Structure 1
Amino acid sequence: MIKEKRCSMQRVYSLLVDNNPGVLSRIAGLFSRRGYSIDSITAGVTADPRFTRITIVASGDELILSQIEKQVRKLEDVIEIKVLKPEDSVYRELIMVKILANPAQRAEIVSLADIFRAKIVDVEKESLMVELTGTQSKLEAFLNLLDGYEILELARTGITGLSRGIKDVTIIE
């Protein structure tokens, strides 16, 4: 018997949901129950406090990704779900990196941070904390250049994004 090789890809979904208690849990629960993979999930209230924007990055083949969209669309609190295509959207992610740094290494790390337009947000006797926002490839490039340093802690927010322009904006009265 020949097994069919499935092509795995990533898709970014932007959800506009009612800002109700437990909505994030219900969405994550749907993924868990169905065995779908969440690569990252971010959520935050919008300019209108009645609504929350949730960005989910999911992996799977085309069938799984289309099922995710259909199943999420059925949830009661979901007002809108959009697929954020890379060519029509802006994605960003935030990382904070705590790096072991003696006085001699600090200048090198600060120079590296400057090149990437990162911010030094904390300085201690033996460490620096760097904050960097950008695309995943920018963050990965920065982390690759930190290869010779000891990273004490690393925190990532996951991707958040919006579609470009005004054509896909949902206005709710």
Structure 2
Amino acid sequence: MSALRLKKGASRKSAYDLRDPNTDVIESHTLAVVVDNEAGVLARVIGLFSGRGYNIDSLTVAEIDHTGHRSRITIVTTGTPAVIEQIKAQLGRIVPVHEVHDLTVEGTSVERELALFKVAGDGEKRVEALRLADIFRANVVDSTLTSFIFEITGTPEKIDAFAELMRPLGLVSLARTGVAALSRGDAPLT
């Protein structure tokens, strides 16, 4: 195998990134969008996704500035790098949108999700569910003689892992909030 022979300044990309930029690599990205807190803004943002056939894996919305009437929409979506860039550009053109940040590429971020699990069972399955909940640091928020409701907070992967372990133990239903994320360190994102 021959060595790469790149002239100095011949390429703006790192020699270590040897992926073909034209391949269709599907990536997951977390976008933080600061918008005006007014009627119809969420519908316009979601309409952008549905109108172009983009999928939303997770969506959370909350007001972040009461006096400035601003909300933050956190969206987890998947697509090729070109599709993600197109989504960010189109979001930025919507009038009530103030900022669009791609937390996946702007540096490290902290992502968390809250989930509630209802697990029904008795005997050994009940004991095993409690033991696993302790390992995953899930809290029991409701208990009857036949079921538990567990509350767990963590990364989406942690929530998925807990769900897989609870299924054979009697998982009845599951409710998830969606991902909330913030940039780590001194990043200026609100």
Query: How has the CA–CA distance of structure 1 residues 5 and 88 changed in structure 2, closer, same or farther, with 3 Å as cutoff?
Result: closer
Instruction: Give 2:115's aligned residue.
Output: 95
TM value normalised by structure 2: 0.81
- What amino acid sits opposite 1:145 in the alignment? L
Aligned twin of 2:73: 54
Counterpart pick for 2:137 among 114, 117, 120: 117
Task: Kindly state the Cα deviation for residue 124 of structure 1 after the two structures are TM-superposed.
Answer: 2.0
Structure 1, unaligned runs of 5 or more: none
- 1:78 counterpart residue number: 97
CA shift for structure 1 position 47:
4.5
Residues of 2 paired with 1:64 and 1:57: CA distance? 13
**For structure 1, which segment, 87-96 or 63-72, has the greater mean C-alpha deviation from structure 2 after superposition?**
87-96
Query: CA contact under 8 A between 2:59 and 2:73: conserved in structure 1?
Result: yes
Name segments (4+ residues, structure 1) moved above 3 Å. none
Instruction: Give the TM-score, by structure 1 length.
Output: 0.88
Match of 1:67 among 74, 79, 86: 86
SS at match of 2:168: coil
Percent identity, aligned pairs only, is 40
Query: Unpaired segments of 5 or more residues in structure 2?
Result: 1-21
Specify the code of the residue in structure 2 equivalent to 1:110.
L
Aligned length: 167
- Give the aligned partner of residue 8 of structure 1: 26
State the distance in 1 between where 2:169 and 2:116 align.
15
**Would you say 1:18 and 2:30 are equivalent positions?**
no
* RMSD, matched Cα: 1.8
Secondary structure at the counterpart of residue 137 of structure 1: helix
Q: Secondary structure at the match of 1:46?
A: strand
Q: Computing the radius of gyration over CA atoms, which structure comes out larger, 1 or 2?
A: 2
Partner of residue 127, structure 1: 147
Look up the equivalent residue of 1:18 and give its one-letter code.
Answer: D
